[in-house]
Structures are given as structure tokens and as C-alpha cells.
Amino acid sequence: MASKLHTHIVSDDEADIRLDRWFKRHFPELTHGQLQKLLRTGQVRVSGKRAEASTRLESGQDIRVPPQVIAPPKAHVEKQSSRTSNTLKKLIIFEDDDVIAINKPAGLAVQGGTGLKENLDDMLRSLAGEGKAKPKLVHRLDRDTSGVLLLARTAYAATKLAESFRHRETQKIYWALTVGIPKPEQGRIAAPLIKQGETMAVDEEGHEDAKTAITVYQIVESAKKLAAFVAMWPITGRTHQLRVHMAYIGTPILGDRFYGGEQSLGVPEDELGQGLHLHARRLIIPHPRRGTIDVSAPLGVEMRKTWKWFGFEQDAETDFSDA
């Protein structure tokens, strides 16, 4: 039986985007060169007419996609996709037609890189609905940081959420366990950051390329002089900002191998959780269409183990409304 052509209808939120961008969203495996060949030979058509990569789409138009672009996946690929989808669905803590929020586990890279076998961005294809583009990342978390990560289901939502992050219309609250007790108990750290190789550092020499970085923090609970459960609100969003700032005031985050957090707390190692003790606990951000998104993520397994040993409250209320 001959393979059939597939027709996709341009949705309202895809209006005015370029045809090549539409294909990138729906069929990321298709290369630019392959798409150009399909366009030159007329195998891709928009509302029955030939088109170019730069053609701007209109809501309601139909896009004819040749069968070789939508090849039926092999059985093992289907099985792998189903397994990935089930894994991701277990991480979802909020979703609607525009937005998905997941509780990213520590150790999962958000995007690909040298030596990484898997990353979240590649896995997101499994969450795409029939004929829909895969959800899009709108911000980042370090590989070793767990917690709330927001994804956009539509191009419109991606644009609006990106604007909210860019204009600092968000509040991101992180939880961490610090080695030692920060002083004062609550404060504001305004220390510019500069890149040094693969890490960041506080710039104390006034370099022109240093970036402003501001963090507000407060101690939630402390354990004698050993450690503290600290809540933090990064006013700015620089790379490794919270990790560098806490190390800068002499209380690095436990498990931070880059910024001095691998110190011993004098506690048997098997009693505490492993890895970086930094968690994106809560995110408050304007919804792309209405109201506000306010979502919180429970601690992961390793941090829960440490919280339990110290007797810290795992569902503590942290509020920076007066900051």
C-alpha cells in the first residue's frame, strides 16, 4: 500500500511564523537541507501551493507533509518513547493547555552536551500530542539542581513566559542546605559575577564584563553550628549565582564540588543524601493567558534524606513578600 500524504493545520498560536521554523518545531529531526529539497521539488505545499522556507504562515492554512518525513517508527522506538513519556509524566506537577511544570530530578541535564547520554530537551518529544509540537524549554536549571522547571506547550506561551523571565516578573524560591550558618540570618547579597573557565566567581576588581547579581536569602531552620536550611530568591538569574553567592559569604551549599561544598559535617556519610543540596522549590509567574502560575515541587529523595536526619520541615512555608 502506498504511503499517504499527511496534512497539518496551522494553529492560531503558529500564525506568522516561518515555514522552516514550523518544521523545526514539529519535525526537529528533519535537517534544513532536507527541507529545502522537499520545497524545491514541490513535495511540501501550503494550502496547495509551492512555498519557500521563509514563507509566513497564516492560521487555518494546511501544510502537506510527504510520507518520508513522517515515517512510522519501529517497534523498539515506540517502546522507548512510551517509556520516556511515562517517566516524564510522573514528574509533572502542573499542566494545562499552555504550560507544563515538572519537578526535574537532580542529575538530569536540561540540554545536551559532551559526554551526556540523555537530556530533558530530547525527551520532550514524547510529551507532544498528536500533530503537536514538542513542549519548549523557557528557562534552565543546572544539571545537579532539582525542582520546578517550566515548559511551554505552544509558541504563544513560550513567547509570553520568556518575556516574563526577561522582565523579571517572576519569583523563584530555592531551598538549600549550607555548610555552616549564614550571617546575618537574613540578608541581601549584591556581588557581581564573572566567568572563570567553566565556573563563575565574584568579581572584586570591577571588570567591564562582570554581570550584576543579587540574591535575597533567609534561614528557615538551623542545626547547631553545623548547617542551615536556607531559602533563597535570586533577583537576577546568573549562571551558578546561588552557589557562588553562598560560598562568597562563607557558607557553601552542601555537595557543591565546584564551590567548596564538599566539606564534612561530622555526620556519617550514609546518614545524609548525596549530591548538590539545591532545589528550585517554588515558581510564581504570570500565566500566558490569565492569572498567575504558583507551583511548588517537593524535595527529591536525596535531599529528603538529609532533611529527615536534621529534623527540618519538608513542607515549610517560605515567603519573601517583605524582601
Beta bridge partners of 172: 283
Quick check: helix, strand or coil at residue 87? helix
Pick the catalytic residue: 12, 20, 142, 209?
A: 142
For residue 141, what is its C-alpha cell? 536549571
Contact between 236 and 212 (Cβ < 8 Å): yes
- The string of DSSP letters for 206-239 reads --TT-B--EEEEEEEEEETTTEEEEEEEESS--T
Q: Taking the CA of residue 317 as centre, how many other CA atoms within 13 Å lie in the half-sphere pointing to its CB? A: 2
12 is known as an active-site residue = no
Q: Which residues contact 200 (CB under 8 A, 6 or more apart)?
A: 193, 194, 238, 239, 240, 241, 244
Q: How far apart are the first and last CA of the chain?
A: 67
Cis peptide before 184 (omega within 30 of 0): yes
What stretches of the chain adopt beta strand conformation (E)?
6-9, 45-46, 49-50, 62-65, 92-95, 99-104, 136-137, 146-152, 171-179, 186-190, 193-196, 199-202, 214-223, 227-234, 278-286, 292-296
Matching residue, cell 537532580: 106
Q: What is the DSSP letter of 59?
A: T
- How many angstroms separate the CA atoms of 276 and 295, rounded? 22
**What is the maximum alpha-carbon separation in the chain?**
74
Catalytic site positions: 142
